[in-house]
Structure 1
């Protein structure tokens, strides 16, 4: 699934780059302006491109696209259980379970994660707006966390998610990531920490063919669109 998301992201960025190159933004593509026949051609090519990608993924297999894998995803103490996973190439996903019968408050503003340079820096939450998140008794929360040093903001005065311009992908050169989750339960400040160990598999040559096939499909589609189909 991670490989499909990664490839989809690559294709999406390629689409925007090529659309600017051919000036496709000049064309206000809609069903009314393109007409029924043109719209059917557009849909056919779009579906064809998706089928090419999914078929290639089926043939080559997930492993051909490479990527990260977490070797020791679970950490826990008497209060919390944290399960890490990778669903995108620039963040660590985590589900935090509250094992107690009391409310647990996670203080994201004090949590840490290792960045690509090996420094323990603030863990930036991509899903939660607030620095203090409550977990109900026997409940859980999901989040994607990023080392704050990996993020480029559009304004140096605001660090909200709306101002994120770019997130640096995780580096395969740093396969051990220390984390610290600071939380409060029953009026006591506690923490859960550990070292996440990753493995990385580089993409196989077959994955390059998938990317080229997808880009070729998009080029054909964009060429037809630029001529009004």
Structure 2
């Protein structure tokens, strides 16, 4: 009898041990699933804007309230920054990172303080890992006399509006997406000859190196 009791006790102990190991394994699987789903430091992209014009422009950054595919969620960066002045010939690196969260981003550019804005709109979709972007004159069209361009990075399609085009041939709903991730780049006016002679990689490296930080730009007070 004692022999069978020992066997029974050993069996119960083994089952409890296996159950504990199974619970630990499930907990680890859950942890890794959450870790892989959460945005990491590498899951961010910055917007680089280049003002090649001979006049300053007035810029704001904005993020939509809800991601389109998940309207019950609230975007982490929801809201709009104060307006700042970007000098002629200068570039800036946006302060709001683009996350893979399907939240709509917009860099709004005006010709005068609080004036009508031309928009560079973009999103990084969590659902399919694509970057979507377009130009928009929905809330203003103050730059029809200058060149406007937007690209996700060197290997993705570029959107281009030449001077004189009112946007109907190149703005929203002309849009594109990209399955590879890199710097989002927008520009106004024709780039200097020095930059035209560079390769795409050299030009991006030069502009990023000389870009002003958001905190370095002068605010308009609006």
TM-score tier (shorter): under 0.3
Q: Which has the higher contact order (CA 8 A, sep 6+)?
A: 1
Structure showing the higher helix proportion among its residues: 1
Q: Which protein shows a greater Rg?
A: 2
TM-score normalised per structure 2: 0.27
TM-score normalised per structure 1: 0.26
